[in-house]
Amino acid sequence: MAVKALVQHWVDRYFSDEEAIILGLVLLVGLAIVVFFGQMLAPFLTALVFAFLLQGGVSRLERWGVPRLPAVLLIFLVFVVLLLTAALVILPLVWDQLTGLVSEVPRMFVRSQQLLDQLREQYPTVITPAQIQSWVNSGAHEATQLGQRALRMSFNSLGNVLSIIIYLVLVPILVFFMLKDQEKLIGFFLSLLPRQRALMTQVWKEMDGQIANFVRGKVVEIIIVGSVSYVTFFCFGLPYSALLALMVGFSVLVPYIGAAAATLPIAAVAGFHFGLGDQFMYVMVAYAIIQALDGNVLVPILFSEAVNLHPVAIILAVLFFGGIWGFWGVFFAIPLATLMKALLHAWPRSVATHRARREKKASGRDA
C-alpha cells in the first residue's frame, strides 16, 4: 500500500495537469521517431537543422526591408555556394590528407619505436624493455585496426559517394521549401497539436532564443577556429593541415574535453615531422593561443545569452546524447540539456500550482 500511495502521489504531483500529459506524449512520440526512424529521416532532419540556421539571415534581411521570397533566394544561394565549396574543395582535400596519414602510419610507428629505444638508453631505470615491448605491441595493434578501418572505408566508398550525392541534391531542396513555406509548415504542425498548449508555448519561448543562439554561434565558432587553425598550421608547414584544422574546429563541440583530445594528434604529427625542437614548441604554443582566444574571447562574444548549465551536466549530456545519436547528439547535447532544464522548470507540480500560475498570468494581462 505504501508503494501504491507513493506512486499515486508522484502521478498526482507531476501528471495532474492535462497539458503536462500531452507534452509528455509529444516528447515521447518525437523521441521514438528519431530513435527508430532517425537514419531514414536523416536528410530531412539535416535540412531542418540548416533551415533553422538560415532562418536568422532571412529574418534579418526582412527587417532591412527585403521581401520574403528574395530574402529566401539570396540566403539559399549563399548556402548552396558554401555547400558546394565544402563538397568539392574541402572534403576532397581532407580525404587526400586522411589517406596520406594512414599510409604514413607504418613509418611513424617505426620512428616511435626508435624514440622509445633512445629513451630506454637515456633512462634505463625508468623505462624497461618489457614496457617498451608492451607499448610496441599496443601500437602495432592500433595501427592494424586503423588499416582495417581504412580498408573498410575504401570498400564502402561507393556507398558513401551515393549518400553524399543524395544529400547534395535532397537537402538543398528541402531547405529551400522549409524556408519558403515556413508559415505553412508551422501552421500544419500546430494544427496537429491540441488547442490548449500554454505549457508547450512557455517551454518553446524559453528555449527558442537559447537554441538559436547556441546553434548559430557554435557553427560560427567551428568555422572561425577551424579556419584560423588551418592558416596557422599551413604557415608553420605542418603536414595534414586541413585534416588537423577540421578536427580542431569540430573539437569545440565537446566542451572541456575536445581541446584536450585534439592536442594529442597535433602534438604527434608535429613531433614526428619537426622533432622535439623549437619548431615543435612554436606549433604547440600557437595552438595553445588559439584555444585561449577561443575560450576567453570568441565564446563570450558569440554566446551572449549564456547557457546556465553546470559543467558536470554539460559533460553528462555530451556523453549521453552523443552515445545515442553520434555527431548530432554531440552537436545538440547542450540545447537538449537546456530543454530538459526548461521542462523541469516549467512542468506543473500539482493542480494547485498550475492554477496559481494561470491566475498570476491572467492578473498580469489584466493589469
Closest CA to 328 of 79, 45, 53: 45
Rounded Cα gap, residues 252 and 234, in angstroms: 20
Q: Tell me the C-alpha to C-alpha distance, in Å, between residue 148 and each of 118, 144, 145, 159.
A: 30, 6, 5, 18
> In terms of domains, do 86 and 130 share one?
yes
DSSP state at residue 310: -
Among the residue ranges 135-144, 166-175, 332-341, 358-367, the one predicted with the least confidence is 358-367
Q: What pLDDT was estimated at residue 259? A: 80
> In terms of domains, do 205 and 175 share one?
no
Burial of 346 (0-12, 13-18, 19+ CB in 10 A): buried
Question: Against a cut of 0.75, is the pTM above it?
Answer: no
Q: What pLDDT was estimated at residue 286? A: 93
Q: Say yes or no to pLDDT of 144 above 60.
A: no
Rounded Cα gap, residues 250 and 246, in angstroms: 6
Final residue of a domain: which of 192, 211, 227? 192
> In terms of domains, do 323 and 224 share one?
yes
Among the residue ranges 42-51, 154-163, 241-250, 296-305, the one predicted with the least confidence is 154-163
Q: Taking residues 38-50, what's their average pLDDT?
A: 81
What is the residue-wise DSSP string for 52-73? Answer: HHHHHHHHHHHHTT--HHHHHH
What is the number of domains present in the chain?
2
Q: What pLDDT was estimated at residue 71? A: 92
Determine what percent of the chain is predicted with pLDDT higher than 70.
69
pLDDT in tens, 46-104: 888 888 888 888 888 988 988 989 999 999 999 999 888 888 888 888 888 878 877 77
* Length, in residues, of the chain: 367
> In terms of domains, do 160 and 226 share one?
no
**Number of other residues whose CB lies within 10 A of the CB of residue 48:** 16
Q: Which domain holds residue 270?
A: 198-349
Closest CA to 143 of 202, 111, 102: 102
> In terms of domains, do 217 and 232 share one?
yes
**Cell 494581462, residue located:** 365
Buried/exposed code over 172-188 (b: 16+ C-beta within 10 A; e: otherwise):
bebbbebbbeeeeeeee
Q: Taking residues 118-130, what's their average pLDDT?
A: 64
Final residue of a domain: which of 161, 192, 223? 192
Closest CA to 226 of 94, 51, 56, 43: 94
Residue 188 covered by a domain: yes
Q: What pLDDT was estimated at residue 75? A: 93
> In terms of domains, do 206 and 120 share one?
no
DSSP state at residue 303: -
Determine what percent of the chain is predicted with pLDDT higher than 90.
13
Residue 45 covered by a domain: yes
> In terms of domains, do 342 and 219 share one?
yes
> In terms of domains, do 239 and 340 share one?
yes
Q: Say yes or no to pLDDT of 157 above 50.
A: no
Q: Tell me the C-alpha to C-alpha distance, in Å, between residue 53 and each of 165, 166, 219.
A: 22, 21, 9
* pLDDT band with cut points at 50, 70 and 90 for residue 158: very low
Final residue of a domain: which of 192, 223, 239? 192
Closest CA to 302 of 191, 362, 225: 225
* pLDDT band with cut points at 50, 70 and 90 for residue 154: very low
Residue 187 covered by a domain: yes
Rounded Cα gap, residues 94 and 103, in angstroms: 14
